[in-house]
Structures are given as structure tokens and as C-alpha cells.
Structure 1
Amino acid sequence: MNPAAAAPEPRASPSGGVPGGTAGTSEPAPGASPNPLPAPPPHPPSPHRPPPENLWLNLGFNAAAPALILTFLSAPNRLGPAGALVTALLFPLGYGAWDLWRRRTWNLLSVLGITGTLVTGGLGLLEMSGFWFAVKEAALPVLLGLAIPLSLRTRQPLVKTLLYNDQVLNTARISEALAVRSQQARFEALLAWASWVLAATLLVCAVVNFTLAWWLLPATSGTDEFNRQLAKLQLWSWPGTFLPMAVGMFYALSRLLKGLETLTGLRGEELFHPRSRRGA
């Protein structure tokens, strides 16, 4: 008998392969993907962002309440000039401390506002003339206007805090696109240009604030009449500062976004976080 003819034929395994082979090595069925793609990793949790500041509370505590107190409670038969001034200062100071506790973050503009409030209180209690109030009103915008371009030499320029910040813009994606296109140098020049626009805007605010204070504070400091004039200055200084800043920041931001589109190749909403695009 021929031994080769007596050898048993190999039987197919249940998986369709050869016995002794690795399971699953059979040919894939027609139309099936030989190497299915792995499931995408879950999105990382979004970083904690502080709640937005309430604009009406800000205006109420920093402008309306102090102005009302200085106007109606400065008479000698009420709180008196000094008492009304101290009481009026408690509202912006208290709001600033509460906002810091609630949002757990320092707001540069709020810090400047609290500083200005303290200086105003000090000048009022020392019964300084209206000229020094005008200098104070102009000093803060001038200092901030100088700090913005000077901060370009630091690791965290102020223009990034005011305009180019990760709370709204997708800075990681923008940085990646800039690196791919080798446009970092032009991006730094764009930030420098935006910084000088903001500095010029703050210079305009300083001129407006000085003019308002010089015009609205002719009375002698420490009197009932002076406190009423100071209340009027509190009310007028908000639009006098807000309107130039709004125009300047809108112009700088719009040109910054247009420049980012040119440098990165990203378009419109691609510059922002997805949650920002949904309005969340």
C-alpha cells in the first residue's frame, strides 16, 4: 500500500483556515474592510471658563450708585461731603471684591477701575483741586496705553489678553496653521500693529477724560457742590471712555481677524472655538 495515499486529508477548521493556523487569518468577505479604522478618541473636557461679567451690575455699582449717592446724600444735613464720598466708594470696591470671588479671576479693567476709585477717594478726602482729578482721569488711560505696546517684549503681551485670547479664538489651531505656513513673523507684526491701535485709542480716551474733568469740576473740593459735580463726572466718564474704546477695539479686532484669515488660510468661523460658534 502506498503510504502517501494513506495520509489523511487535512480538514478545514470552523473558521475557514488551515488547522494549526491562527484563527481569523482567512480571507475577508467580499466588500469588507480589511483594516477597520479605530474609533476616534473622546473629546477632552473643555477647560473651565469663568462666567461672563454682568454689564448691568457693573454699570450699577461702578457708575449709577456712586453718582446717586454723591448727588443726593452730600448735603450737610445728610451724610456730608466726606461721608457721601466714602459711601460712594464702597460700591465699586465691594463689587470688585465680589466679582473676583465669584469669577475667580483678575479682570484687568476691573483692577484699573478699583485703582481709579481709590485714587478718586484719596483726592476727595485730601480736598485737592479739580485739576488733579483731571490728571487722575487721564493718567490711567495713558499708563495702560503705554503698557500695551511695551508688553510686546514680555511673554504675555496685553494685546493677547484684550483681543487674541483663547476664551474665544481657537489659538491652538491658529498657531498650528501659522507654523505650517511659516507666518509667525508676520503674525507678530500683526499683533504689534493691533497694540499700537489700542494705544492710540487709549490716548484719545485720556484726552476726553481730562477735558471732561477740567470742565465739570470747577467747584472747590470737599464741598457739597463739588460732590455733585463729581457725580456728573462719574456718569459722563463712562460714555466718554466706552465709546472711543468700543470703536478702537472693534477696528483693531476686525483687522486682526482679517489678517489671521490671510496668514492662516482659515476662514471666518474656523478661527473660533466650536462652542463659541454655537453661541454656547
Structure 2
Amino acid sequence: MPNSQPSNSPISKNPQPTEKQPVKKENTFLNLGFNLILPILLLNKGKQWLGPYLEPYFENVAVGILLIAMTFPVAYFIYDYIKRSKYNVFSILGLISVLLTGGIGILEIPTEWFAVKEAAIPLLLGLAVLISLKTPYPLIRTLLYNPEIIDVDKVHQALVEHQSESAFEKLLVRCTWLLAASFLLSGVLNYFLARWIVVSPSGTDAFNSEVSKMMAWSWPVIAIPSMAIMMVALMQLLKGIKAMTGLELEDVLHGAQPKEEEA
């Protein structure tokens, strides 16, 4: 007879439900505005808009424009943390990426390091996802098997009843490797896109313009393929949950509409 005791794995182990305040949802418009739209506009039009005001304070106006543009993502990170009291390794690495971009431009570091930085951040994320498998806090729970998205307590109870915890643990490991692959793809695409677009010396108007172009192109060229792999991982996770527990999609996802009963 199979062992019905819950697995001690950090992935499949599910804590008892506790009463806690729901985390406030992130403001998508503010996120896009401060992290993408405003920096792109400033890097492209900043000299035209702010050049006369910055000339008395900056010997190189392009550096001043870059500094102001990078201030918006930093300010949003601080605002969002104060507002929601929530952060994770991904938001922290995103902040580090912004600071490194500013540092490369301000310190006029060779442009080749911009491409290295663009590749290193997603590769570090993928590595963090894999390393987290060996910790009590696997990042698969943050990205896919997230209690804000999935009713993990209901899933865990059903897994125990069906004695499927071990199989579910293996499924989560497979999904984790898919996530790591999405970050690997992002790193490779980031590197080659940066080498193709950002070629001017750092600390120049051309460098700022190319960085803004890189930010704009990174969404369709990099984000979409990476998100596609993440969706494949999510679909595999939901399909596995249904096979192992019998729970339908509307039983598992928070906010999913139940099926209408046939007359």
C-alpha cells in the first residue's frame, strides 16, 4: 500500500492555512509608466526638453538625462514596496539592472559591458530558480504555484487524499526546469539584441537613445518568447493538478468562473 504520509520535500510541503491580510495588487499602469514609458521618453527627448536646465549642472548633459531616466524605476520600486510591503528576488534584480545601466552610462564604462549585464540578469534569475529547489522556499511557488493565483490549500488536501504528493513534487521540478529555460532564452536574446542595438560609447546621447530602443524592443523580442515558455509550464502544472487530484480549472484558480450547470 502506498505511503499516505505527506512528503517532507520543500516543494510539495504545504503549510496550514493561516489568516493574513491579502496583498494589495500592483498598479499595472504605474509599473509600465515608471519602468518603461517615462524612461524611454526621457532617453529619447530628454535633451530637447531638459537640456537647457541641466547644462549649468552637468558637464555632460547626456549623463544627467540618463540619471533622471533611471530615477523613475528606482522611485517606483521604493513606492511599490512602501505601498504593498512586498518584494522578491526578481524585483530586486530588476532594480540592480537599472542601477547598473545608470552606472555604465555615468561612469562611461565600455559599451560591451551593457550586453553582458543584459544577459547576466536573466541568467542569474534562472540560476536562482534552480538553486531555490534545494531551499525551503522554491521560487516555483512565487511564479506559478502561487497562493495568490492557485488555491494551494485545496490542491494539497486533494493530493494527500489521492496519495499523489510524490508525483506532484516531480511535476513541480519539471516546471522549475522549464522556468529556468525561459530565463536562459531571455539571457541569450538579451545579449544579442544589446550587441546589435547598443553600440555607441556610453555617456553619450546616442547611447541613451540606443538604451531606450533596447528597452522598447525587449518586450516583443524577449518577453513574448519567455512568457510563452512560462505559459507552457503553467499549463503543464494545471494539467498535472487535474490528473492527480481530479480538480477542474475553476476549482483551482482564484477568481475562475465555475462552469454553468446544464439544464
TM-score band by shorter chain is 0.7 to 0.9
Q: Is 1:169 aligned to 2:156, yes or no?
A: no
State the match for 2:34 in structure 1. 61
Q: 1:205·1:240 contact (CA, 8 Å) conserved in 2? A: no
Inter-partner Cα distance in structure 1 for 2:76 and 2:204: 27
Matches within 5 A, 1:261-276: 261-273=242-254, 276=255
Inter-partner Cα distance in structure 1 for 2:109 and 2:188: 20
Q: Is 1:98 aligned to 2:79, yes or no?
A: yes
Change (3 A) 1:272 1:67: closer
In the superposition, the TM-score normalised over structure 1's length comes to 0.78
Q: 1:134·1:214 contact (CA, 8 Å) conserved in 2? A: yes
Change (3 A) 1:215 1:221: same
CA offsets per residue over residues 2-56 of structure 1, 9 Å max, x none? xxxxxxxxxxxxxxxxxxxxxxxxxxxxxxxxxxxxxxxxxx9964222221222
Deviation at residue 219 of structure 1 after TM alignment: 1.0
Task: Give the partner amino acid of 2:36.
Answer: A
CA offsets per residue over residues 68-90 of structure 1, 9 Å max, x none? 11112247656411110110111
State the match for 2:115 in structure 1. 134
Deviation at residue 142 of structure 1 after TM alignment: 0.5
- Secondary structure of 2:251's match? helix
Deviation at residue 230 of structure 1 after TM alignment: 1.4
Over the residues paired in the alignment, what is the CA RMSD in angstroms?
Answer: 2.0
Matches within 5 A, 1:194-233: 194-233=175-214
- Secondary structure of 2:200's match? coil
Percent identity (aligned): 41
- Secondary structure of 1:166's match? coil
Q: Is 1:48 aligned to 2:29, yes or no?
A: no
Deviation at residue 112 of structure 1 after TM alignment: 2.2
- Mark the structure with the bigger radius of gyration: 1
Matches within 5 A, 1:1-280: 47-74=20-47, 77=52, 79=54, 80-273=61-254, 276-277=255-256
CA offsets per residue over residues 225-252 of structure 1, 9 Å max, x none? 1111112112222333321222111111
**Unpaired segments of 5 or more residues in structure 1?**
1-43
Inter-partner Cα distance in structure 2 for 1:126 and 1:82: 9
Change (3 A) 1:209 1:219: same
Deviation at residue 67 of structure 1 after TM alignment: 1.3
Deviation at residue 278 of structure 1 after TM alignment: 5.3
Deviation at residue 268 of structure 1 after TM alignment: 2.1
Inter-partner Cα distance in structure 1 for 2:88 and 2:137: 15
State the match for 1:13 in structure 2. none
- Secondary structure of 1:73's match? helix
Inter-partner Cα distance in structure 1 for 2:46 and 2:137: 44
In the superposition, the TM-score normalised over structure 2's length comes to 0.83
Which segment drifts farther, 124-133 or 89-98? 124-133
Larger RCO, structure (CA 8 Å, separation 6 or more) = 2
CA offsets per residue over residues 118-153 of structure 1, 9 Å max, x none? 111111111122210000001011011111122111
- Secondary structure of 2:136's match? coil
Task: Give the partner amino acid of 2:147.
Answer: D
**Unpaired segments of 5 or more residues in structure 2?**
1-16, 55-60, 259-263
State the match for 1:5 in structure 2. none
Inter-partner Cα distance in structure 2 for 1:202 and 1:263: 28
Change (3 A) 1:146 1:229: same
Q: 2:47·2:62 contact (CA, 8 Å) conserved in 1? A: yes
Task: Give the partner amino acid of 2:95.
Answer: I
Task: Give the partner amino acid of 2:41.
Answer: L
Inter-partner Cα distance in structure 1 for 2:34 and 2:45: 16
- Secondary structure of 1:168's match? coil
